[in-house]
A and B are shown apart, each in its own frame.
Chain A
Amino acid sequence: MGDLAGLIAKRLGLGLVTLLVVSVLIFFAVELLPGDIAQAVLGQGATEETVAAMREQLGLDRPAPVRYFEWLAGAVTGDFGTSLVSGERVSSAIGTRFINTLFLAAYAAVIAVPISILLGIVVALLRNSLFDRVANVMTLTSISSPEFFLGYILILYLAVKTGMFPALANLRADMTFVELLHRTFLPALTLVLVVTAHMMRMTRAAIINLLASPYIEMARLKGTPPWKVIVRHALPNAWAPIINVVALNLAYLITGVVLVEVVFVYPGIGQLLVDAVAKRDFPIVQACCLIFAATFILLNLTADVGAILTNPRLRHPK
């Protein structure tokens, strides 16, 4: 197990380096955007004097590297600064929205992960049957429709026509948990449709891939029933790629849901990030991107560790 701890430490270290590079990249990308915060905030009404006055107030007249290192010095001590536009602390501006995003991601994941793995196993068992084909076409259709469009269709049938679920997922502080689940069902369902197909197909592929192995052939020749071959023999060795694709999709649920937020008016972090980019509000953009990057790195690490733990051969290297 010592190796594993060493591996985790090494990966965390590399992750920090990645975060640093990301922060430099994002900073200069925001610098390179045409126009600046003063023009963006004042809009059509900006005159040269007011723009200059605002730049001076925000300290934007100083050179870019100076501002980056100031930010970095703060970030290292856990202080991500204040929003340039509203003057609010970055942590409080992001806090509740990040929790909302996590909630929606968890909601979708709780539905999508078991369904897709189960379905994946079933279609691997019934491969090339009618059921396999139908499941294949359905899931492919659902991932190949743009997600905003899936959202619109769900709204049409489940909100406008039948009125079973609300079309808007705007949250209120005094909602009960059940109300919350009801209100956010449509965005969660949209996300489920988006990620299920990918996970299901990878589960199916990972299992079918193993079916040609000699040891499976052996089990089959011994007369083990097909479902037992898959669950007992193929699945344990297929966990690594499955965990990998699950991690990738979980990361997507957290970082890639801007469009779903827009369609369902859900107050998550993606909309905040897009707005902050439009306003050139660098501290917010930076903090959001780092949260996303950290999520991605941690989930990847978890997947790798999970793969090692579930694979006997990797757990006991030769």
Chain B
Amino acid sequence: MTKKNQLLLNRIAEEASRGGISRRDFIHYSVAAGVTATTASGLWTTSARAQPKSGGTFRWGIHDGNTSDTHDPGTYLTRVMIFLAHTHRSYLTQINGDGSLGPDLATSWTASEDASEWTFELTQNASFHSGKKVTADDVIASLNHHRGDDTTSAAKALLTDVTDITKDGDYVVKVKLGRGNADFPWLMTDYHLAICPANDDGSIDWKSGDGCGPYKIDSGEFGVQFSLSRHDGWHGEGAYFDKVEMITLNDPNARQTALVTGDVDSVSQVDLKTVALLQRDPNINVMNIPSAGAITMPMHCDTAPFDNVDVRNALKLAINRDEIIEKILFGAATKGNDFHHSPAQPYWPEGIPQRDYDPDQAKSLLKKAGAEGLTVNLSTADSVSAGAVDMAVLYAEHAKAAGITINVVREPNDGYYSDVWLVKPWTLVSWGARPTPDVMYTLAYKNDAAWNESRWQNERFNELLLQAKSELNDSVRAEMYREMAMLARDDGGTVIPFFNNFVYGARSNVGTPENLAASWESDGARAASRWWFTD
């Protein structure tokens, strides 16, 4: 190896240890410097992986917080609370940076043959900030908080299949389900299902803000700011920062200037308009992570004119997804294909032909359906997502070319999800990321689901959904999801223009792992415990 290459290699290694270079780039450059790929891989491990340093106060600006937030896991709603929950509380399982399922409080989990009974083995090292050990009782009480007739939890629907939760000693929890569900451990990552200390009567103590997460709350005010410091008895890896400050920054301009001026070290969302400008700042890294969150436009399949599959497909062909992604999201999205299964989720079926803008074919489909010169109303509201109304306006412009008139109806923000969604025949809806396709399809596409937003009834789809749910063989399951995707794409009633990306930013002295989790912004809401300072 020449001296020049050695120098280059040192530079790359230094860059890797700052966290400023990805593993793939590291190996690429190292090989270019005359090292074999295997050696480079090893080098990466020594220079980068061993790297995270402890120390510092991580100031984290988070969008979407509210002064009327509470610590009740059943009513978590805002991003600030979801992020706080991932910082001061723990879950049974967690979604890793690479999208796989990893352990949190549960070290291992096994299912019965038909996936209807799950056994979770808990770590024995975990403790609450009060010093109390985390035991099976706490887990059971925390899950039961979302069950039963008088629960006020928004996660009730998630656990309706659970029939019984029992313990087997202090560190084993057994969950019985009414029907098999191979994804049950994935469900345990849901942000509502945080583990809180149990009271003697089997309820949980959520009011005190005690938790068993990597950081404990020193002081805080809802909708303003939380100050946390490291919990020494934490059971997991990471938690490099000494202190974490979570600051509610609802105004996009406030977030941006705070990041630019260094008043915060990271923000959970960047205004998409300014991403290109922000990237020019050498002190700032912008992360752009494809997620499983999506915009959907469900048509009621039992209501004319949407009861005709040709009309539905004509509308799916009349939208120019590329222009919407370019203009509304400034490129920060993955193109949708009218089935609600994102590449960021497991079992994603590759190779399904992409549906594109084709007004001519839309026209001929309408002719076939006898619905030429179609006029329909599309309901939306500003609060659905940034640019939701603009998006509908653009769609209406596209559809003109296919002879379709779309009247964009801007509904009031307040009560959109109670008075418009599921009520009006065609609406525009924003869905958060769900961990697996099964969760998503069961929530909003199953024939008898309360939120079957397109009122779509397809026998084969529902049959496959139930089979796939309890199928423990991965490749068989993936094949089933492919068939379901095709059914939803060609027969279903939902236009899915795109899966949005999470776009957030950090100062360049913040080190991050190579892969960032796609379940929430800021590395699956776990930036506080997964990131570190490089200087």
A–B touching in complex (CB under 8 Å): yes
In the complex, which of the residues A33, A155, A272 contacts B67, with contact meaning CB atoms closer than 8 Å? A272
A86 touching B68, Cβ below 8 Å:
yes
- Bound-state CA distance A182–B68 (Å) is 29
In the complex, which of the residues A50, A173, A281 contacts B154, with contact meaning CB atoms closer than 8 Å? A50
B254 touching A167, Cβ below 8 Å:
yes
Tell whether A279 pairs with B414 under 8 Å between CB atoms, given A54-B152, A57-B152, A262-B250.
no
**What residues on A are CB-neighbors of B253 within 8 Å?**
152, 155, 263
B415 touching A39, Cβ below 8 Å:
yes
**What residues on B are CB-neighbors of A155 within 8 Å?**
253, 257
**What residues on A are CB-neighbors of B251 within 8 Å?**
262-263, 265
Number of contacts between A and B (CB, 8 Å)? 123
Q: How large is the interface on A (under 10, 10 to 19, 20 to 34, 35 or more residues)?
A: 35 or more
A281 touching B157, Cβ below 8 Å:
no
Tell whether A39 pairs with B66 under 8 Å between CB atoms, given A53-B150, A262-B250, A265-B248.
no
- Bound-state CA distance A174–B67 (Å) is 22
Query: Which residue of A is nearest B259, CB measured?
Result: A167
Cβ of A278 within 8 Å of any chain B Cβ, yes or no, is yes
Cβ of A34 within 8 Å of any chain B Cβ, yes or no, is yes
**What residues on A are CB-neighbors of B219 within 8 Å?**
173
Tell whether A50 pairs with B68 under 8 Å between CB atoms, given A86-B222, A167-B258, A267-B224.
no
Contact mask for chain B residues 73-108; partner A; CB cutoff 8 A; 1 contact, 0 none: 001010000000000000000000000000000000
Cβ of B535 within 8 Å of any chain A Cβ, yes or no, is no
Cβ of B223 within 8 Å of any chain A Cβ, yes or no, is yes
Cβ of A49 within 8 Å of any chain B Cβ, yes or no, is yes
| B100-158, CB < 8 A from A | 149-157
In the complex, which of the residues A42, A54, A85, A263 contacts B254, with contact meaning CB atoms closer than 8 Å? A263
| B244-299, CB < 8 A from A | 247-251, 253-254, 257-258, 260-261, 263-264
**What residues on A are CB-neighbors of B330 within 8 Å?**
none
- Specify the main secondary structure of chain B where it touches its partner: loop
Cβ of B450 within 8 Å of any chain A Cβ, yes or no, is yes
- Bound-state CA distance A281–B75 (Å) is 15
A45 touching B157, Cβ below 8 Å:
yes
**What residues on A are CB-neighbors of B254 within 8 Å?**
167-168, 262-265
| A33-88, CB < 8 A from B | 33-35, 38-39, 41-47, 49-50, 53-54, 57, 83, 85-87
**What residues on A are CB-neighbors of B509 within 8 Å?**
none
In the complex, which of the residues A57, A170, A272 contacts B225, with contact meaning CB atoms closer than 8 Å? A170
Query: How many chain B residues touch A (Cβ–Cβ < 8 Å)?
Result: 44
Q: Which of A3-11, A158-166, A205-213, A299-307 contacts B (4 or more CB under 8 A)?
A: A158-166
**What residues on B are CB-neighbors of A46 within 8 Å?**
154, 417-418
Q: What's the nearest-Cβ distance from chain B to residue A295, in Å?
A: 20
Tell whether A163 pairs with B261 under 8 Å between CB atoms, given A50-B156, A263-B251.
yes
Query: Which residue of B is nearest A96, CB measured?
Result: B221
Tell whether A35 pairs with B415 under 8 Å between CB atoms, given A49-B149, A53-B149, A275-B66.
yes
- Bound-state CA distance A219–B418 (Å) is 72
Tell whether A34 pairs with B412 under 8 Å between CB atoms, given A50-B151, A50-B152, A83-B68.
yes
- Bound-state CA distance A130–B154 (Å) is 65
Q: What's the nearest-Cβ distance from chain A to residue B163, in Å?
A: 18
- Bound-state CA distance A194–B223 (Å) is 26
For A156, A159, A167, the residue with the greatest tally of chain B CB atoms inside 10 Å of its CB is A167
**What residues on B are CB-neighbors of A279 within 8 Å?**
66, 68
- Bound-state CA distance A167–B415 (Å) is 34
Q: What's the nearest-Cβ distance from chain A to residue B376, in Å?
A: 24
Q: What's the nearest-Cβ distance from chain B to residue A236, in Å?
A: 45
Q: What's the nearest-Cβ distance from chain A to residue B391, in Å?
A: 19
Cβ of B70 within 8 Å of any chain A Cβ, yes or no, is yes
A85 touching B156, Cβ below 8 Å:
no
Cβ of A276 within 8 Å of any chain B Cβ, yes or no, is yes
**What residues on A are CB-neighbors of B421 within 8 Å?**
44
**What residues on B are CB-neighbors of A96 within 8 Å?**
221
Cβ of B479 within 8 Å of any chain A Cβ, yes or no, is no
Query: Which residue of B is nearest A266, CB measured?
Result: B224
- Bound-state CA distance A164–B121 (Å) is 55
- Bound-state CA distance A284–B68 (Å) is 10
Contact mask for chain B residues 147-173; partner A; CB cutoff 8 A; 1 contact, 0 none: 001111111110000000000000000
B418 touching A167, Cβ below 8 Å:
no
B152 touching A42, Cβ below 8 Å:
yes
Tell whether A45 pairs with B154 under 8 Å between CB atoms, given A160-B261, A276-B68.
yes
Tell whether A42 pairs with B154 under 8 Å between CB atoms, given A34-B414, A47-B450, A262-B250.
yes
**What are 29 A-B contacts with C-beta separation under 8 Å?**
A34-B418, A35-B415, A35-B419, A41-B75, A42-B75, A43-B417, A45-B154, A46-B154, A47-B156, A53-B149, A86-B68, A86-B69, A87-B70, A87-B207, A96-B221, A152-B253, A159-B261, A168-B247, A262-B251, A262-B254, A264-B254, A265-B247, A265-B248, A267-B224, A275-B67, A275-B68, A279-B66, A279-B68, A281-B68
Chain B contact residues, CB within 8 Å of chain A: 66-70, 75, 77, 149-157, 207, 219, 221-225, 247-251, 253-254, 257-258, 260-261, 263-264, 412, 414-415, 417-419, 421, 450
Considering the complex of A and B, which 10 residue pairs feature the smallest CB-CB distances, nearest first? Answer: A45-B154, A35-B415, A34-B415, A85-B68, A167-B257, A54-B152, A275-B67, A279-B68, A267-B224, A86-B70
Extra A-B contacts (10), CB below 8 Å, given A35-B414, A168-B254, A275-B66: A33-B414, A41-B75, A45-B157, A86-B68, A96-B221, A155-B257, A170-B247, A262-B254, A263-B253, A265-B254
